[in-house]
Amino acid sequence: MKFNVILACGGMGERCGLGYNKLLLNVGGIPLLEKTLNCFCHNDISKIVIAYNKNDKSAIEKITEGRDEIILCEGGTSRSQSIANALKFVEDNCDFVIIHDGARCFLPKECLERGMQEAVEYGNSVLYVNSVDSLRIVDEIKSQPIERSKIVRVQTPQIFKKDEITKAYALADGKDFSDDATLYEEYIKKPIRLTYGSEENIKVTTPSDCKNLNGGLLIGNGWDTHRLDFGRKLILGGVQIPHDKGLVAHSDGDVLIHAIMDAILSAMHERDIGILFPDTDNKFKDISSVKLLQEVLKLARSKGLAVKTVSAVIMAQKPKLSPHIPAIQKNLADIMGIEENCVSISATTTEKLGMAGREEGISVSSVATLYKI
Ligand code: MG
């Protein structure tokens, strides 16, 4: 089967408040429109028609330069008119037309595949997701609940037989519809096949959508080593571990929390704990590292950041740490206020090699991811 794509890019993107079309927004180093185009790299798709807003013509020409599979056409004054114009440019011999919002740049490949397969099987396909919010219908006087299970949120792509959607748009004769499925039903009178889409397939619409586009995870690394000696408690992740030796330090020597703190600070582009909590300062003498971690978390929050995940590897020949890992993970998750499955701690010996192998000390390597709140 041969598919063509129409990308509805005729809007101004004004609701994002950027002062320019959101399709030109930088998303991970490329314009949002280019990211959307990349969703349609597929063997069965031979042409992509972009219905653009004339203000963006030169920018869109630049983005699509050298891509022979792309045809540009000027959009109309409404979405429906833009699609009607674009339909004139699809290939005569294509079987299906995939109509998609230019601003849905996160369309997962499996959703597109599912839609294409169901369109072939059922004659059309319209992606949807369930509503996670409770819904109410409102008028000027009152509001009433709507049964959520009876509601779906419709997305794009919406995929139709080329001949049918062309006929539907010809019959619509410029009349505006909120989406292609509604127009198709109105004029073709066939049922719509709803195909499950994805929550990832968002339509970038509001300023907060734009803000979140480049607000991916921040990642940081941390490492720490402490010397083992007799007469000290062994504390790892705030949990006391039975052992004949403990870690020597100005603080309680919790090497695991130290490495985690450095990973969090690194993700925040802050300096390390040696600078934040110097071992020359008496107020940190024998301090519980949990308190220091709480300070680091406070600093993160003051910068609008929160920890998403923490991962660490403890390198210790002895004691055997495996039985203590669940308690350590739970304790760290509680301190950081995150789910237990977001804290992954593992332990390894170093095969009796090196400092850890000779039981002279314990090292920890850690990685943390943070997100903007
Ligand atoms: Mg340390």
How far, in Å, from the CA of 285 to the mean position of ligand 1? 12
Domain boundaries along the sequence of the chain: 3-207, 217-372
Rounded to whole angstroms, the Cα distance separating 13 from 310 reads 37
Residue with tokens 């540009």: 72
List the chain pLDDT tens, one digit each, 373 residues.
999 999 999 877 666 667 778 888 877 668 899 999 999 999 999 999 999 999 899 999 999 999 999 999 999 889 999 999 999 999 999 999 999 999 999 999 999 999 999 999 999 999 999 988 888 999 988 999 998 888 999 999 999 999 999 999 999 999 999 899 999 999 999 999 999 999 999 998 877 777 667 667 899 999 999 999 999 999 999 999 999 999 999 999 999 999 999 999 999 999 999 999 988 888 888 899 999 999 999 999 888 788 999 999 999 999 999 999 999 999 999 999 999 999 999 999 999 999 999 999 999 999 999 987 6
- Interstrand relation of 96-101 and 3-9 (parallel, antiparallel or unpaired): parallel
Strand, coil or helix: 88 = coil
Rounded to whole angstroms, the Cα distance separating 334 from 373 reads 19
Fold of 217-372: 60s Ribosomal Protein L30; Chain: A; (3.30.1330)
CA angle 184, 129, 115 (to 5 degrees): 55
Residue-level pLDDT at 303: 83
How far, in Å, from the CA of 228 to the mean position of ligand 1? 12
Q: What is the CATH number of domain 3-207?
A: 3.90.550.10
Phi, psi of 80 (to 5 degrees): -60, -40
How far, in Å, from the CA of 351 to the mean position of ligand 1? 23
Residue with tokens 């390894």: 348
How far is residue 26 from each of residues 10, 15, 18, 40, 371, measured CA to CA in Å?
18, 17, 12, 19, 19
How far, in Å, from the CA of 251 to the mean position of ligand 1? 8
Q: What is the DSSP string of 294-336?
A: HHHHHHHHHTTEEEEEEEEEEE-SSS--GGGHHHHHHHHHHHH
How far, in Å, from the CA of 202 to the mean position of ligand 1? 43
pTM of the model: 0.64
Structure tokens, 221: 């690394």
- Residue pair 7/35 in contact (Cβ under 8 Å)? The answer is no
